[in-house]
Chains A and B, each alone.
Chain A
Amino acid sequence: MLFIDNISISLGSFALKDISLQVNKGDYLALLGVSGAGKTVLLEVLAGLQKPDRGRILFEGRDITREKIQKRRIGLVYQDLSLFPHLRVFDNIAYPVRRKKVKSLDIKNRVAELASVMEVDHLLDRYPETLSGGEAQRVALARTLASEPDMLLLDEPLSKLDVKLKSELRALLGRIHKSGKTVIHVTHDFMEAATLATRVAVVENGRLLQHGTPEEVLRHPMNEFVARFSGIKNIFPCTVTQSPDDSGLCIAGIGGGMSVYFLGKGEKNEGFVMVPQEDIIVSEKPVDTSAINQVEGVIKESYLSGYGTEIVVDAGVEFVVSVSKSSREKLRLQPGKKVWLGFKASAVKFMKS
């Protein structure tokens, strides 16, 4: 178990402030945040490459805040991978294994084993500069795994890869996690995090905003920043114009002459409402369902996304809606077409600003 206890560090104009976080053995924690939010610095602090100004790090019950870097057994894979340019792939992977009293045959076997798991066995004689992005990523992972870390820190491991390589590598990371490694994975992509992670932590401006399971963070983002991050696209600044009635129904104006119903408690407020794009129903005519919110709009755009099709509908304000391929064909959802959008009041989330 890793316990980060009130870590603060300032580096020039940048600072991490009072970060506290617990990572259990076997967890896969996604550390989310925009670039410059302090995610990489936090990894460096855990690996011992930066000294925190305040706070402690406990790992497996030991205080490792002042522990030597090479004694921590926390493997860090930098975003730029930092492969050693003057060493062949073999020697890069062998680097952590080459210690006194390790026989050269044992080194060879260990490298061969890791290279085959990471599918880089055909690259062992190459120099890093000749590798593609995906190959280099695998080599870097193999090299870090060769040091037998108890915990793996990955800085944006999928950011520079194309879609196909991304899914291959994601599967590989999943296997590494399943083999029992605790992983902290820094990313700015919520979907990337949600597909792999068992826990999610969101960092902004050097502060930890929220952490929990991916579902918790997705369902109950604590503010607009987290919500935007979790990939929910329909976020609108709003003014609550009607406080909850007996059934808890409120009304909020979201601009463009539009109002939405949502379930809430409390008084009139400024804030944001959020409509998950999967929770919007598209139809050609207004339909009688439990969806109290019904708006008419024109399709502006239609494009493929990772999980089907997304359409953008202008209804005074723009909604992004996920639809399946079959409904896109059945309803002929092409730009220019008029459609009705419906969503339940309970699907709408409100956050005070």
Chain B
Amino acid sequence: MQPDNPKHMLRNWKTGLVFMFLSGLILLFIIAPLAGMFIKTPLAQYSETFTDTELMSSIRLTLLCSLAGVVVFGIAAVPLSYVLARKDFPGKGIITGIVDLPVVIPHSAAGIAILGIVSRGTVIGRAGEAAGIQFVGGIAGIVLAMAFVSIPFLINAARDGFESVPEKLEKAALNLGASPWRVFFTISLPLAKRHVLTGLTMMWARGLSEFGAVVIIAYYPMVTPVLIWERFASFGLSYARPAAAVFVAVCLLVFIAMRLIAGQTARKG
């Protein structure tokens, strides 16, 4: 008997039963509402929804805005993840906390905070206007809001990835005459690739589902989470549900596809 081994612990049928029951309950809690949403939407409404140009263009806008956020802010965030994984410096705990801030604050508050720095009176707002970029009520604002709330997912995943790369391999590469720049791109990044790709996927997925921060910066152009909310508020549940079901389906497909690609690339690497 090894009571501290969970495998053995679960052989006890009473314990096993309780654990299985609770696990099932939690899975049901996640699956049931989503499944219900799909089941309760009449089939005819799906085909109608696919011809709903307002919804379709909002889904395209949502996917692209989140992707833009990943490309612009995500790539710049990878070096920060590396620094957090490799360097010890005073105040590192504080920096780690700051990185997690967007996850813990209410997203409507995040929206208000971003609005505060990009609205028309501010330096950034004026600079943007001069360059023809509209933040408030514009695509740039949506990208900013999505990136703000989703960037911790990338930074944390990438940091875990870099931490998993043995420092000795980097030292060995330096010793073989490679520049630090080359070591990063040929050793550190390829070996952390799976984590970084997962982080990028998570960041994208989290960005497209953002409602609170986006709705405060830009009600129009309308991203899908805002559209779903608007239909619910104006017309009720049965109008909002098909749009929600289709958007969830699209998100799931994208998510699964990205996971597969990430998994395959990592194996090949």
Contacts and interface: CB of A to CB of B under 8 A. Distances in A.
B172 to A, nearest CB: 4
B176 A78 contact: no
A78 B175 CA distance: 11
A85 B191 contact: yes
B176 A144 contact: yes
A70 B187 contact: no
A147 B172 contact: no
Interface stretch (B46-54, B113-121, B163-171, B201-209): B163-171
Contact of A143 (B171, B176, B269): B176
Interface residues of A, number: 23
B191 A86 contact: yes
A78 B168 contact: yes
A340 interface: no
Interface in A67-105: 69-70, 73-76, 78, 80, 82, 84-86, 95-96, 99
Nearest to B172: A82
Contacts of A86: 190-191, 269
Interface in B163-206: 166, 168-169, 171-179, 186-187, 190-191
B176 A49 contact: no
A37 B166 CA distance: 23
Given A84-B187, A86-B269, A147 B168 contact: no
A70 B174 contact: yes
B191 A147 contact: no
A44 B172 CA distance: 10
Given A80-B168, A85-B191, A49 B173 contact: no
Q: Which of A48, A84, A147 has the most CB of B within 10 A?
A: A84
Contacts of A95: 173, 176, 178, 186
A44 B175 CA distance: 10
A85 B179 CA distance: 19
Main secondary structure of the interface of A (DSSP, over half): loop
B175 A49 contact: yes
B175 A75 contact: yes
A107 interface: no
A342 B168 CA distance: 52
A47 interface: yes
Contact of B169 (A75, A82, A144): A82
A70 B172 contact: no
Contacts of A74: 175
A69 B175 contact: yes
A80 B167 CA distance: 12
Contacts of B169: 82, 84-85
Given A80-B168, A82-B166, A70 B178 contact: yes
Contacts of A73: 177
Contacts of A78: 168, 172
Interface string A143-154: 110110000000
A78 B174 CA distance: 13
Given A49-B174, A85-B191, A86-B269, A70 B168 contact: no
Contacts of A82: 166, 168-169, 171-172
A99 B175 CA distance: 14
Nearest to B169: A82
B269 to A, nearest CB: 5
A48 B175 CA distance: 8
B177 A49 contact: no
B181 to A, nearest CB: 11
Given A82-B166, A84-B187, A76 B172 contact: yes
A69 B174 contact: yes
Given A82-B166, A82-B169, A76 B175 contact: yes
A160 B171 CA distance: 22
Nearest to A71: B177
B269 A147 contact: no
Interface string A264-287: 000000000000000000000000
27 contacts: A44-B171, A49-B171, A49-B174, A49-B175, A70-B175, A70-B179, A73-B177, A76-B175, A78-B172, A80-B168, A82-B166, A82-B172, A84-B169, A84-B173, A85-B169, A85-B191, A86-B191, A86-B269, A95-B176, A95-B178, A95-B186, A96-B177, A96-B178, A99-B177, A144-B175, A144-B176, A146-B176
Interface of A: 44, 47-49, 69-70, 73-76, 78, 80, 82, 84-86, 95-96, 99, 143-144, 146-147
Interface of B: 166, 168-169, 171-179, 186-187, 190-191, 269
Given A70-B174, A75-B176, 17 more contacts: A48-B174, A48-B175, A49-B171, A70-B178, A70-B179, A76-B172, A76-B175, A80-B168, A82-B168, A82-B172, A84-B172, A95-B176, A96-B177, A99-B177, A143-B176, A144-B175, A147-B177
- Complex A-B, nearest 10 residue pairs according to Cβ-Cβ distance, in ascending order: A82-B172, A96-B176, A69-B174, A147-B176, A49-B171, A70-B177, A82-B168, A76-B175, A147-B177, A96-B177
